[in-house]
Amino acid sequence: MPENNYDMFKLVEEVEKQKKSANVNIDDIFSSLVAVKTEEVKTEEKVHTARATADPSLVSKPRIPDSIGAYSSRFEAFRGVIEHVSYGTNNVNDYVEGHKDALEKYYRDASNNAKDLYVTEARVNDEINKSGTHNQLYEKGYYDGLVYVLKALKRSKELMMSYISQQINTKL
């Protein structure tokens, strides 16, 4: 709505400017109004293009949660970390889609290898090492999703070590 008010004020200013001049010609007023309208359309196109190609470095990455609870298997801990991902409000849809695609792909892989998550960890690590530049938001989101999965796998190891340590301490 504010853009429409701004457009209207600019049009009124142009008409007032034309009225003040000594040689008022209706055709000049209309041609100047058309010029003002096309100028506004060009600005709106630039804004739309800027939103579509947002800078990937400006998008905030989701973080691994500090505490997610106790789990009795490494796969359950990994699933817990994946389920607690939070994208916040600043992220762009393409980035989030790429991030979710990476999480879903390796969640399925981890569920197929639930007994040995080292296989999934090696696959994620290989894909991270093979990835190239990340100029598009989807690519940046996918890459950050891979890094998130790798961190989630490492976090699941830490959670299991903590769980085993607690079990040993209770038995002693």
Which two three-digit tokens encode residue 52? 């579509």
Q: First and final CA of the chain: distance in angstroms?
A: 69
pLDDT score, position 147: 94
Q: Give residue for tokens 């040993």.
A: 168
pLDDT score, position 163: 86
State how far the Cα of 68 lies from the Cα of 86, in Å rounded to an integer.
13
Cβ(98)–Cβ(61) below 8 Å: no
pLDDT score, position 112: 92
pLDDT score, position 19: 59
pLDDT score, position 81: 87
100 Cα distance to chain centroid: 10
Cβ(13)–Cβ(36) below 8 Å: no
pLDDT score, position 92: 74
Where the chain has pLDDT below 50, the residues are 1-6, 22, 36, 40-53
Cβ(146)–Cβ(124) below 8 Å: yes
Express each pLDDT in 114-132 by its tens digit. 888 999 999 999 999 998 8
